[in-house]
Homo-oligomer: A and B are copies of this chain.
Amino acid sequence: MKARLRINEDEVVELAEMFRLMSDPTRLKIIMACLDEPASVGAMAERLEISASLVSHHLRLLRAARLLQADRRGRMVFYVVGDPHIRSMLTDMADHVAEEVEGEIEPG
């Protein structure tokens, strides 16, 4: 099967919107932090070294787009990537970018 990748206008816009949410480094870091296991707002803020306010601002968008799912536990709210498809795509792309270096390998 070859060319069944024709998608209509609305679908392109929807897909673009998805990519847009992943197109900001800060936001992408937040998403990646919720890949493996749920992460709280405070934990992300601390780990990424940004304000909790900024994390919340981004989470608002990600929540609205159903890209992350919120789960309140006590006074903390945990976020996780809900869609398995998105999750595997991100894992895949992360690997892709990590392997793509091919020439400059930095120790770390």
A interface residue numbers (CB < 8 A to B): 2-5, 7-8, 11-20, 22-25, 27-29, 32, 35-36, 66, 85, 89-98, 105, 108
Q: How far is the CA of A98 from the CA of B35 in the complex (A)?
A: 23
- Given A16-B25, A22-B23, list of 18 further CB < 8 A pairs? A5-B32, A5-B90, A5-B91, A7-B98, A8-B108, A12-B28, A15-B93, A16-B24, A16-B27, A16-B28, A17-B23, A18-B93, A19-B20, A19-B23, A19-B28, A20-B23, A20-B24, A23-B23
Is the beta-carbon distance between A95 and B5 smaller than 8 angstroms? Answer: yes
Which residues in B have their C-beta under 8 angstroms from that of A3?
36
Instruction: Please tell me how many copies of the chain the complex holds.
Output: 2
Is the beta-carbon distance between A97 and B19 smaller than 8 angstroms? Answer: no
Which residues in B have their C-beta under 8 angstroms from that of A12?
25, 28-29, 32
Is the beta-carbon distance between A94 and B11 smaller than 8 angstroms? Answer: yes
